[in-house]
Amino acid sequence: MMYRLSTTFLRTLRDDPADAEVPSHRLLVRAGYIRRAAPGGYTWLPLGWAVYRRVEEIVREEMNAIGAQEVHFPAMLPREPYEATNRWTEYGDNLFRLKDRRGVDYLLGPTHEEMFTLLVKDLYSSYKDLPVSLYQIQTKYRDEARPRAGLLRGREFSMKDSYSFDLDQDGLEKSYQAHRGAYIKIFDRLGLPYVIVSAMAGAMGGSLSEEFLAECEVGEDTFVRCSKCDYAANTEAVKSNINAVDTGQYPAAATIDTPDSPTIDALVDFLNKHHNDKAPKGGWTAAHTLKNVVVNVAHPDGTKSPLVIGVPGDREVDLKRVEAQLSPLEIEPFTEEDFAKHPKLVRGYIGAEILGTDSESGIRYVLDPRVANGTSWVTGANEFGKHRINVVAGRDFTPDQLVDAVEVHAGDPCPECGKDLRIDRGIEIGHVFQLGKKYAEALDLKVLDQNGKTQVVTMGSYGIGVSRVVAAIAEATHDEIGLCWPRNIAPADVHVVTTGKNGDDLFLAAEKFATELESRGLTVIFDDRNGVSPGVKFKDAELLGMPVIAVIGKKFDSGHIEVRERKSGIQHEVPIEDAINTVVSISKGH
RNA sequence: CGGGGAGUGGCGCAGCUUGGUAGCGCGCCUGCUUUGGGAGCAGGAGGCCGGGGGUUCAAGUCCCCCCUCCCCGACCA
């Protein structure tokens, strides 16, 4: 296969496109791999599509290797299955909906759990049919509030989604591990550095769940990683491992006047000025205070109730993290009107002692594990301008539940080994999780087991964002001057540049060289454009990012061809008679 | 959905404050020259100035409404 640039449908841009910010977006547009066609929708041009297909093929090969079978659903789906699982409403505005000429509802599939479940239900009914894993590579649609960063977050994108169907948890475990293993092979082959982190199954209603993240500054996911052991988790899924403190000999709790101290900062100032005698060693700090944040929780039945979250005063509450743990409850802001309805909650002075389902207020109270049993706190007195000191967890108040609620910080202890955690950002490129029986139950997917009894099938769900992976690889591998594709997914193996003009000896030698490379099984880009200056050809070759650039130019007179490795910049001057073998051996991995 | 920025030939931008009938660079076309790091000269083509309404003798420029894009936040496998 040879691309002759004189006729390839390609136009590179000298300037960065104004609407692109992140490197992958900027370079993929500038190098002529993609064009924006719609908000959050991109056209793949020939070279871009070549990359896309190579990624797809690697995914396909590894899925087939674990025995998964490829199918293909429509992108436009009926409403009913999504009604049955409640996702027609749960998905909310993120679902693209449309009606046919008779006014019947359809949707553009954001993901296909329902359809796969129904397909298996349609054809299988015995335990003997299981296990089975099916997958597709499909265009998915999500009406993202804010598409951004080119291919990284579009409203139309390509995803490989697979689903495993097993009779029991043991089977699911095996299917899950098979997919996990396949994903490791896929991302290894793609040449993409990645981290596997534990994640919350959250809204999808499963249990074990892990994400594959490509480490990347512009990534949208934040994850922690231990500096010592190999613990890694999405920030939402980090578990604290705080040990309870032995109950100390704290004096009885007492009320103090704290005028004008509705905020933690003001309170700490006031304590240091007026209650220095009672201060712990080193004086009062925010870490000695217990901050109580009120939110509303929305229950699946549509009702709302207040919830108070208690965290140390020097920490912020991470609502996403709380929400993930309380799922399917959703967190909403607590408004002025809500305060009016709950007069026991005194804004700025909410105290722990009246909180908890079994306490005076009856309001549900969850605590971050940092507020451990036996620790002593300064907290609100539930009265304007007053606080309570020496309020001891477990003695003076009891939470309904411990929930990891604080924003995770770099330097927090690792739950596995206690060493410092680091925080980094990544792009979610793959996700494996054990769905369990949620969809099978909702859609009544059952088989008969060995004893002739019906069993609900248990499922796993596994996704790879194929189009996103292309961008993630561009992010991970580019440099200042352009793209820099790993050998396995580059649209061509070698980019042949000549400074010769159409028809002259140099040009003919270059053409012969390119043709020979092609006949040796390489995919070749041959810059045969006429009247384009060498400078432009070199810049374009670097921008396009093939792993090897071969130059037939001034060194040709002395019998040499220049062979450059794009990534390392290493340049070899190779005698003409050896050049083909040199390029082939570099392209095949030395 | 909230905050900020921006929409002007294919691309990147100026013009808007102070209204007077659209300009620069790149790219594109023709010719000549040039050919190892985004060439030179000459001559061209190409624009309902995001859309709609208004003010005015006159609107890219002023006013109102809408749409779109980018960034931050919210949301989101």
SS (HEC) of A320-356: HHHHHHHCCCEEECCCHHHHHHCCCCCCCCCCHHHCC
Report the distance separating Cα A275 and Cα A269, nearest Å.
10
Q: Where are the alpha helices (DSSP H) in A242-301?
A: 264-274
Rounded Cα distance between A3 and A49, Å, is 13
- Judgement on whether residues A376 and A471 belong to the same structural domain of the protein: no
A265 found inside a domain: yes
Rounded to 5 degrees, φ, ψ at A202 are 50, -130
Q: Decide if A414 is inside a domain.
A: no
Could you tell me the distance in Å between the CA of residue A37 and the C1' of nucleotide B51?
Answer: 19
**Do A69 and A202 sit in the same domain of this protein?**
yes
A511 SS3 class = helix
From the CA of A145 to the C1' of B67: give the distance in Å: 16
Give the separation between CA A68 and CA A116, rounded to whole angstroms. 13
Q: What are phi and psi of A482, to 5 degrees?
A: 160, -165
* Chain B footprint bases within 7 A of protein beta carbons: 1-2, 11-13, 25-27, 33-39, 68-77
| Contact between the CB of A559 and strand B at under 7 Å | no
Look at residue A77 and tell me if it is in a domain: yes
Is A251 strand, coil or helix?
coil
My answer on whether A390 and A525 are in the same domain is: no
Residue A164: phi and psi, rounded to 5, are: -110, 145
A99 and A209 share one domain: yes
pLDDT at A248: 63
Rounded Cα distance between A46 and A249, Å, is 74
Question: Are the CB atoms for A43 and A37 separated by under 8 Å?
Answer: yes
Largest CA distance in chain A: 97
The tokens 């299988």 sit on which residue? A124
Q: A417: which residues sit within 8 A by CB, 6+ positions away?
A: A226, A228, A229, A231
Task: Please check whether residue A499 lies inside any domain of the structure.
Answer: yes
Tokens for A515, please give them.
């043709």
**How remote is the C-alpha of A492 from its chain's centroid?**
29
Judge whether A313 lies within some domain: yes
CB-based contact A173:A149 (threshold 8 Å): no
Among A367, A375, A366, smallest CA distance to A396 is for A375
CATH number of the domain bearing residue A327? 3.90.960.10
Place of tokens 């793959």: A430
User: What is the residue range of A199's domain?
Assistant: 58-238+423-475
A267, A342: one domain: yes
Cis peptide upstream of residue A328 (ω within 30 degrees of 0): yes
Nucleotide nearest to A25 (CA to C1'): B70
Q: Are residues A202 and A276 in the same domain?
A: no
Chain A residues 58-87 with Cβ under 7 Å of strand B are none
First to last CA, chain A: 21
- Split into its structural domains, chain A has a count of 3
For residues A126 and A234, state if they share a domain.
yes
Does residue A40 form part of some domain? no
A88 and A188 assigned to the same domain: yes
- Is A3 inside a domain boundary? no
Instruction: Choose among A323, A300, A390: nearest CA to A353.
Output: A390
Spell out the residues 6+ positions from residue A273 whose beta carbon is closer than 8 angstroms to its own.
none
Q: Is the CB of A144 under 7 A from strand B?
A: yes
The DSSP output letter for A514 is: H
CA of A200, C1' of B60: distance in angstroms: 52
Q: Are residues A176 and A289 in the same domain?
A: no
Q: Determine the Cα–Cα distance for residues A546 and A490; give it in Å rounded to an integer.
A: 6
What is the pLDDT at residue A328?
64
A445/A502 same-domain check: no
* Each residue's pLDDT expressed in tens, for chain A with a length of 590 residues: 999 998 888 888 888 888 888 899 899 999 999 888 877 888 888 999 999 999 999 999 999 999 999 999 998 888 888 888 888 877 777 888 888 888 888 888 888 999 999 999 989 989 999 899 999 999 998 888 777 888 888 888 899 999 999 999 899 999 999 999 999 999 999 988 898 888 865 444 446 888 899 888 788 888 888 878 888 877 777 777 666 565 567 777 777 777 777 777 777 777 777 777 776 777 777 777 788 888 877 776 667 777 888 888 777 787 777 777 776 667 777 777 777 777 777 777 787 777 777 777 777 888 887 777 777 787 877 777 777 888 777 777 777 777 777 777 777 777 777 778 888 888 889 999 888 888 888 888 998 988 989 999 999 999 999 999 999 999 999 988 899 999 999 999 999 999 988 788 889 999 999 999 999 999 999 999 888 889 999 999 999 999 999 999 888 889 999 999 999 989 999 999 999 999 999 998 86
What is the nearest nucleotide to A529, using C1' and CA? Answer: B35
Burial class (CB in 10 A: 0-12, 13-18, 19+), A189: middle
The single-letter DSSP state of residue A469 is: H
pLDDT for the residue numbered A300: 67
| Residue owning tokens 């759990």 | A113
Q: CA A165, CA A179: separation in Å to the nearest integer?
A: 13
Whether residue A79 is found in the same domain as residue A219 = yes
Domain for residue A53, yes or no? no
On the CB side of A466, CA atoms within 13 Å amount to 27
* In contact, A317 and A406? CB cutoff 8 Å: yes
Domain end (from A402, A437, A466): A402
**CATH for A210:** 3.30.930.10
What is each CA distance from A390 to A262, A279, A314, in whole angstroms? 19, 11, 17
Q: Which pair of structure tokens corresponds to residue A31?
A: 């190098």
Closest nucleotide (C1' vs CA) to A142 is B76
Residue A383 shares a structural domain with residue A464: no
Residue A390: helix, strand or coil by DSSP? Answer: strand
| Distance separating alpha carbons of residues A63 and A130, to the nearest angstrom | 17
Residues of A 188-207 whose CB lies less than 7 Å from any atom of strand B:
202-204
Residues 6+ apart with CB under 8 A from A83: none
Alpha carbons A468 and A422: distance in angstroms, whole number:
25
